[in-house]
């Protein structure tokens, strides 16, 4: 009887070496290629053997849901994705912002589907080969720079890339296909029985599967049904995002830069195609909507005294291209699922966007989950034994939690640092009245960051230890 192929060993040997610009170079060439391609099993082959397919139900067709669907499709599983509204890519409205995919996440995508990963890399804008880092908002002076290139090259991974969410979604939706992805299908409930899980949609339809994965984002319905409704935590920051056609003179040398200020920060990134994306975060209570002067004027008020790299980007952005949203996350919990149901991505670990890691973590979740499913699917398809899917889900959760916890904690810490960032001491009275000097603590902070950050980046890029 033919077996469902496990891709993991193939993936690893395929990924080892690549050219500096991020394209895979196959030193293990033919053997590797043959093994990767032979991993796909056609429907007819399966039907011929009368095989029962693992039935995977996925709530949510965001980054996580689609990547998991792609991986499950590659394995020949019977997969269905229920998406409530494909046109709402995490609420970014019509000007959906881009997303940074770190080398580790891109490597995982390659391991799942090399062709799709190639499309994503080609459609994106590589920032991992330029200077990226943190600077002071007022002066524009570098605080610390990140080297995303060396660790990626050392490990033979694709370079960190920024891609428009809509482009990413289009590529994934096309790769997953209409037979798997059901739009306008809001999941409202599920029931677990000893041998199956049933998903219920808003329109009354229901579908049965072996497992249900809640990939339905920060306001996850599946999570609420599992653990009860819990309020998300407001981060203390609202986020204005803007997309502009202004091309700064430093475009060829700087990928993205985070400018820090007291209780506010500004992220500027090249996103390719002659466009710059920026995010302006400001500490304020949630739902401060409705600015009669307009968002742009408000931002020029908040950031007007900052360095020209910041003010120019705001000034060069049309009002209608500026959006605002409040930023929420949730505490990490140790239980991610129950029985035949588990969660991934923002549904279980939404994090603040300051490290640009939420989507990357969702992609890594998918990979770990599919590796665990591979093990049990092989066992039950090959040997005809009961499929131990429940244990596979628990193993996936256990293997992901530590890494996710570290990244989540780092994101919260980063936002606390910003909330308390005071780089200057301003003397209000006395002989030094109106004199501004650099806070001595800033030198220490810079030294500490320069010491810690390279290791942190190395660890981030290293993924979950698979390469
Ligand atoms: C300003 C900002 C910038 C960011 N930048 C980055 C970055 O550079 N890099 C990065 O990695 N991450 C970034 N993130 C985080 C990233 O956007 C999220 O972590 C990522 O989108 C999570 O993917 P997901 O698939 O888990 O959830 P989502 O992308 O939220 O997808 C969930 C999907 O489920 C659907 N859904 C919801 N409820 C239901 C239901 N009941 N039934 C059916 N479908 C449902 C939704 O419509 C949605 O399509 C950023 C976030 C923000 C806010």
DSSP state of 114: H
The per-residue pLDDT for 89 is: 57
The per-residue pLDDT for 41 is: 41
More confident residue, 445 or 134: 134
User: In angstroms, how far is the first alpha carbon of the chain from the final one?
Assistant: 32
Mean pLDDT of the chain: 84
The per-residue pLDDT for 414 is: 84
Q: Is 105 inside a domain boundary? A: yes
Q: Average of pLDDT values for 111-116?
A: 96
18: pLDDT confidence band, cut at 50, 70 and 90?
very low
DSSP state of 289: -
Instruction: Report the interhelical angle of 358-383 vs 389-419 (nearest 10°).
Output: 170
Which atom of ligand 1 is closest in space to residue 218's alpha carbon? 30
Structural domains in the chain (count): 1
Q: Is 48 inside a domain boundary? A: yes
Q: Average of pLDDT values for 299-307?
A: 96
The per-residue pLDDT for 449 is: 75
The per-residue pLDDT for 24 is: 41
CA distance 32 to 30: 5
The contacts of residue 279 (CB under 8 Å, 6+ apart) are 97, 239, 240, 241, 242, 266, 267, 353
Strand partners, 281: 239, 265
Q: How far is the CA of 445 from the centre of ligand 1 (A)?
A: 32
Which atom of ligand 1 is closest in space to residue 239's alpha carbon? 1
Report percent pLDDT > 70 for the chain.
80
Q: Is 431 inside a domain boundary? A: no
pLDDT over threshold 70, residue 254:
yes
Q: How far is the CA of 63 from the centre of ligand 1 (A)?
A: 6
Q: Which two tokens mark 9?
A: 């060993």
Q: Is 68 inside a domain boundary? A: yes
Q: How far is the CA of 362 from the centre of ligand 1 (A)?
A: 9
Which H or E element spans position 112?
helix 103-112
Q: Tens of pLDDT along 175-227? A: 999 999 999 999 999 999 999 999 999 999 999 999 999 999 999 999 999 99
The CB of 281 under 6 Å from ligand 1? The reply is: no
Q: Average of pLDDT values for 135-150?
A: 90
pLDDT over threshold 70, residue 170:
yes
412: pLDDT confidence band, cut at 50, 70 and 90?
very high
Backbone angles phi and psi of 211, in degrees to 5: -140, 155
Q: Is 3 inside a domain boundary? A: no
Say if residues 283 and 264 touch (Cβ distance below 8 Å).
yes
Q: Average of pLDDT values for 373-392?
A: 76
Q: Is 200 inside a domain boundary? A: yes
Q: Tens of pLDDT along 21-39? A: 334 433 332 222 222 333 3
Q: Is 288 inside a domain boundary? A: yes
Q: Is 435 inside a domain boundary? A: no
367: pLDDT confidence band, cut at 50, 70 and 90?
very high
Q: Tens of pLDDT along 321-338? A: 898 889 999 999 999 999
pLDDT over threshold 60, residue 43:
no
* Among candidate residues 301, 417, 368, the one with its CA nearest the CA of residue 68: 368
Q: How far is the CA of 451 from the centre of ligand 1 (A)?
A: 32
pLDDT over threshold 70, residue 13:
no
CATH number of the structural domain spanning residue 41: 3.50.50.60
The per-residue pLDDT for 349 is: 98
Cα dist. 434→172, 258, 428, 437 in Å? 56, 27, 6, 10
More confident residue, 47 or 141: 141
- Domain with 149, as residue range(s), is 8-423+441-461
The helix/strand/coil state of 68 is helix
The per-residue pLDDT for 166 is: 87
Q: Average of pLDDT values for 50-78?
A: 92
């Amino acid at each position: 009887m033919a077996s469902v192929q496990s891709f993991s060993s193939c993936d690893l040997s395929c990924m080892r070496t690549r050219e500096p610009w991020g394209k895979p170079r196959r030193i293990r060439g033919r053997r590797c290629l043959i093994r990767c391609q032979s991993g796909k099993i056609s429907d007819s082959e399966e039907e011929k053997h009368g095989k029962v397919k693992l039935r995977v139900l996925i709530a949510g067709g965001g980054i996580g849901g689609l990547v998991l669907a792609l991986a499950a499709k590659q394995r020949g599983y019977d997969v269905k994705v229920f998406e409530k509204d494909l046109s709402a890519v995490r609420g970014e409205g019509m000007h959906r912002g881009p997303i940074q995919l770190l080398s580790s996440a891109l490597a995982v995508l390659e391991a799942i589907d090399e062709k799709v990963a190639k499309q994503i890399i080609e459609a994106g804008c590589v920032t991992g080969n330029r200077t990226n880092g943190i600077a002071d908002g007022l002066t524009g002076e570098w605080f610390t720079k990140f080297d995303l290139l060396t660790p990626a090259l050392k490990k033979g991974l694709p370079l960190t890339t920024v891609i428009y969410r809509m482009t990413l979604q289009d590529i994934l939706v096309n790769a997953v296909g209409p037979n798997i992805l059901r739009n306008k299908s809001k999941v409202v409930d599920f029931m677990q029985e000893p041998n199956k899980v049933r998903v219920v949609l808003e329109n009354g339809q229901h579908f049965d599967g072996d497992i249900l994965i809640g990939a339905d984002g920060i306001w996850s319905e599946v999570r609420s049904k599992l653990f009860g409704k819990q309020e998300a935590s407001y981060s203390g920051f609202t986020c204005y995002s803007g997309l502009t056609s202004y091309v700064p003179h430093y475009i060829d040398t700087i990928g993205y830069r985070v400018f820090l200020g007291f209780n506010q920060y500004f992220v500027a990134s090249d996103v390719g195609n002659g466009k710059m994306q920026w995010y302006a975060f400001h500490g304020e209570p949630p739902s401060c909507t409705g600015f009669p002067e307009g968002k742009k004027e408000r931002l020029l008020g908040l950031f007007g005294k900052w360095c020209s790299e910041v003010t120019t980007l705001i000034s060069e952005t049309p009002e209608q291209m500026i959006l605002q949203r409040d930023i929420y996350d949730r505490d990490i919990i140790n239980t991610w699922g129950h029985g035949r149901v588990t969660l991934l991505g923002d549904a279980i670990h939404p994090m603040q966007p300051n490290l640009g890691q939420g989507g990357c973590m969702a992609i890594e979740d998918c990979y770990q989950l599919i590796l665990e499913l591979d093990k049990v699917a092989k066992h039950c398809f090959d040997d005809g034994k009961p499929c131990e899917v429940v244990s596979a889900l628990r193993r996936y959760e256990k293997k992901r939690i530590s890494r996710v916890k570290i990244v989540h904690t780092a994101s919260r810490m980063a936002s606390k640092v910003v909330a308390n960032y005071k780089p200057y001491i301003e003397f209000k009275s006395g002989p030094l009245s109106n004199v501004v000097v650099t806070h001595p603590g800033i030198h220490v902070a810079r030294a500490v960051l320069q010491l810690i950050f390279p290791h942190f980046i190395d660890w981030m890029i290293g993924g979950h230890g698979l390469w």
